[in-house]
Structure 1
């Protein structure tokens, strides 16, 4: 039997040493593969952890929003009560014996609703018109009121925790 001829560059290694190098090479390749797989799993765990954290934060925001606006329907139902009490006060004379009771009721109702996040939108004449909080009922020429400003308030508006519940109904001044 003839022995295979080796290149001048390939050293003549005994068979045991060649097998040992081959095993070491296989182990090194396996280590590299396992290291790459480990890095991939670490990256996947980090992504899943980030996703879980985002879900937790989103759920916390949704719970907070639900808590802040859970009483929205009740407070919206009380808005006409404010209108009725204020209309009653506007039409009651100063000597009416029921006036002080209506004023007290309105104050207590206001205090209770404000502690639950309800705020009044009552622009004064001359305040700039804000389309996010006001609903223009008409546009009229009003001397002394700048164009684009509130000229008159028909009905107050309300915010619930900075979210518009009902816009203020206003008349807007136009240029002379």
Structure 2
């Protein structure tokens, strides 16, 4: 009887221990479950934080890339404008150099053409004197014939040299009066000649490369 009670008490004690063990295991399992849940939650939180950080990083990278693209575009526009300015400056420089070259050539040509102008003007009275000498000298005097021939030859040689250097004589008659090369000294009536025509030349005029040195003194019809 006593042994039977002891056995019962032993079983009860064993059952109690088993119950406590099961309860402890359940507690441990719950703690593990909670810990796992906490771990998962922490991992999710970390993952969310990493995701947010990655998104922020991507956003910053995109923003930086956008700023860089804007700066690159701005620099490209500046480069295009700079190249256009360089081309414009080059064209302007070439045009200016061409203008300088042309002006220089024209100046040189003008100097070549009109360098004799002052000398030619000073020479005209000499020609006038030779022409006057031929007009007033008595050509019937045999003693004066050699002198007349010498003066005539000198005058012709001088006129040939002047013509060679672009000095032309204005001495044509029966042509329209041209105030740019003629100076009217007198006006006469002529029935058979239209008005405003050169009838005679009192003093010959001269041009140097089409520039007037001296107008011809003429008689004009009215």
Q: With the length of structure 2 as denominator, give the TM-score of the two structures.
A: 0.68
Matches within 5 A, 1:86-165: 86-92=131-137, 93-94=139-140, 95=142, 96-124=145-173, 126-165=174-213
Which residue, 87, 99, 102 being the options, matches 1:54? 99
- For 1:137 and 1:108, locate their aligned partners in 2 and report how far apart those are by CA, in whole Å: 29
Unpaired stretches in structure 2, ≥5 consecutive residues: 1-57
Q: How far did residue 57 of structure 1 move?
A: 0.8
Q: How far does the alpha carbon of each residue in 1:135-163 deviate from its partner, in whole angstroms, 9 at most, with x for none?
A: 01122212322101012211100011110
Q: How far did residue 45 of structure 1 move?
A: 2.2
SS at match of 1:170: strand
The CA RMSD measured in Å over matched residues stands at: 1.5
Q: Tell me if 1:64 matches 2:109.
A: yes
Higher relative contact order (CA 8 A, sep 6+): 1
Which shifted more, 90-99 or 69-78? 90-99
Unpaired stretches in structure 1, ≥5 consecutive residues: 1-12
- For 1:110 and 1:138, locate their aligned partners in 2 and report how far apart those are by CA, in whole Å: 27
Larger strand fraction of residues: 1
Greater C-alpha Rg: 2
Structure 1 runs of 4+ with >3 Å offset: none
Q: With the length of structure 1 as denominator, give the TM-score of the two structures.
A: 0.85
Which shifted more, 41-50 or 103-112? 41-50
Number of equivalences: 161
Q: Is the 8 A contact 1:142 1:151 kept in 2?
A: no
Q: How far does the alpha carbon of each residue in 1:96-143 deviate from its partner, in whole angstroms, 9 at most, with x for none?
A: 22111111111111111111111100021x211011110011222123
Task: Tell me the equivalent position of 1:43.
Answer: 88
- For 1:17 and 1:68, locate their aligned partners in 2 and report how far apart those are by CA, in whole Å: 75
Which shifted more, 16-25 or 163-172? 16-25
